[in-house]
Amino acid sequence: MRIGFFGTPGIAAFCLEKLRGRFEIAFVVTGADKPRGRNRRVQPCPVKQLALDYDMKFFHPESLKDRAFIDALLKAGADIFVVVAYGRLIPIEVYEMPRLKTINLHPSLLPKYRGAAPVEWALIRGETGTGVTIQLINERLDAGDILLQRAFPLSGEITAGELYDILIPEGAALLIEAIEALDAGRATPLPQDESGASYCGKINRETAHIDWTRPSREIHNLVRGLNPRPLAWLSFRSKECKILRTAIPGDLTAPGLAPGEILAERKRLFAGTGDGPLEIVRIQPETRRDMDGLSFINGYRPARGERFE
């Protein structure tokens, strides 16, 4: 079995590593080198780095419709294409090319949360369950027939990073299962129920800005949905602070605390919301390392009535 793999970030590299241990990788298609890290040095993305480490053939084309690129894929003779977080729409001439077509790992229970950032949005919107789906790619975004799915319950505290750590290994295992089922003729693709379809967009800076007039649970869900990146943010003394973790206190009511108003109580850091206080468990002031609430109180000595904006 020869696989053509499309992917870019670390979660895709994880899946490629698992597939490499089971199948022959005919080629890898990935994103171009970009400035990364604090020093902004140009570096390969995780999938390309893995391809370099194991001497895999790789492409990072400017256009997926480029004739020379398409001819090179045809020449590679892959039996199936696998897509994991590639970040670009794949044209029909490409995804219809291999004999077993093209499959995609999507970290939601399709048809729910089609589109970008489904893990983040599931947490932001307070879902109590999610999952992973292996689908056949078609001409519409995340609307292909479903091959396999696996569901998982969600706690009200799990972060996006912690959830990815659960979903991606399960997704990699499902990819292997789907590939083997397709190759053996045992797969039974099922059309998605369009009546249950929902979409989610990319996370932008406005999305990540905390609105303290919102209920505490909504803000808490935003914080965990955006951890580890891009992280929810606020302004304090005209400087940006990132919020890594919050908690909804069951032992503090703080009547009269205004939205965003800071409260230092019992060696803990709180802020007012639209319906009560929210504890700030870990916060990262601009140009500083992240710290717990008490360290913030001791370091910044917030005055009575000061607010997060």
Question: pLDDT value at position 250?
Answer: 87
The answer to whether residue 283 sits within a structural domain is yes
Tell me: do 177 and 47 sit in the same domain.
yes
Number of domains in the chain: 2
| 85-140 pLDDT, tens digit each | 999 999 999 999 999 999 999 999 999 999 999 999 999 999 999 999 999 999 99
Distance, CA of 53 to CA of 269 (rounded, Å):
46
Tell me: do 64 and 210 sit in the same domain.
no
The answer to whether residue 294 sits within a structural domain is yes
The answer to whether residue 309 sits within a structural domain is no
Angle at 24 between CA 53 and CA 171, to 5 degrees: 85
Q: Are the C-beta atoms of 132 and 103 separated by less than 8 Å?
A: no
Tell me: do 166 and 186 sit in the same domain.
yes
Joined together, the tokens standing for residue 75 give: 């020449």
Rounded to two decimals, what is the model's pTM? 0.94
Tracing tokens 């905390």 back to the chain, one arrives at 210
The answer to whether residue 239 sits within a structural domain is yes
Question: pLDDT value at position 34?
Answer: 77
Of 169, 200, 231, the last residue of a domain is: 200
- Which residue segment(s) compose the domain that 232 sits in? 205-300
Confidence of residue 47 (pLDDT cuts 50, 70, 90): very high
